[in-house]
């Protein structure tokens, strides 16, 4: 009889930046297996923030402390933030110069 033990999900801090001021941020701490999964889950839970956020960043969380009496939260992030895969840039065909091979083909 074998017992499969899956690793416990890590905690991630997903931060939505809504404006230029430091107080215009919303941070959500969520358990997930990776940063991309954390971002996807938060986007499904809070689609209104995804639409208006100027930037979304994900950080692995090293330590979280919640003070329920004073309603304060202390979060210690890991050093390197998670970066989502960037979208590949597609060259603009209108402004692109033609190569000599393309000019000969015409």
Query: Average pLDDT in the 98-102 region?
Result: 63
R_g (Cα) of the chain, nearest Å? 21
Q: Give the Cα separation of 30 and 9 in Å (integer).
A: 9
Q: Which residues of 1-106 form beta strands (DSSP E)?
A: 10-17, 25-32, 55-67, 72-77
Q: Name the burial class of residue 2, with classes exposed (0-12), middle (13-18) and buried (19+) by CB atoms within 10 angstroms of its CB.
A: exposed
The pLDDT tens digits for 60-71 are 988 888 888 888
The pLDDT, as a whole number, for residue 95 is: 58
| 34: Cβ contacts below 8 Å, ≥ 6 apart | 82
The pLDDT, as a whole number, for residue 88 is: 46
**Is this structure's pTM higher than 0.75?**
no
Confidence grade of residue 93 (pLDDT, cut at 50, 70, 90): low
What are the structure tokens assigned to 94, written together?
């209108």
């Amino acid at each position: 009889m074998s017992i499969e033990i899956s690793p416990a999900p890590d905690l991630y801090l997903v931060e939505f930046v809504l404006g230029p001021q430091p107080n215009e941020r919303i941070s959500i701490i969520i358990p997930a297996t990776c940063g991309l999964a954390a971002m996807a889950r938060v986007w499904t839970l809070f689609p209104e923030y995804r639409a208006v956020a100027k930037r979304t960043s994900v950080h692995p969380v090293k330590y979280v402390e919640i003070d329920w009496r004073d309603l304060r939260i202390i979060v210690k992030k890991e050093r390197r933030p998670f970066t989502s895969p960037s979208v590949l840039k597609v060259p603009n065909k209108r402004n692109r110069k033609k190569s000599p091979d393309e000019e000969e083909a015409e």
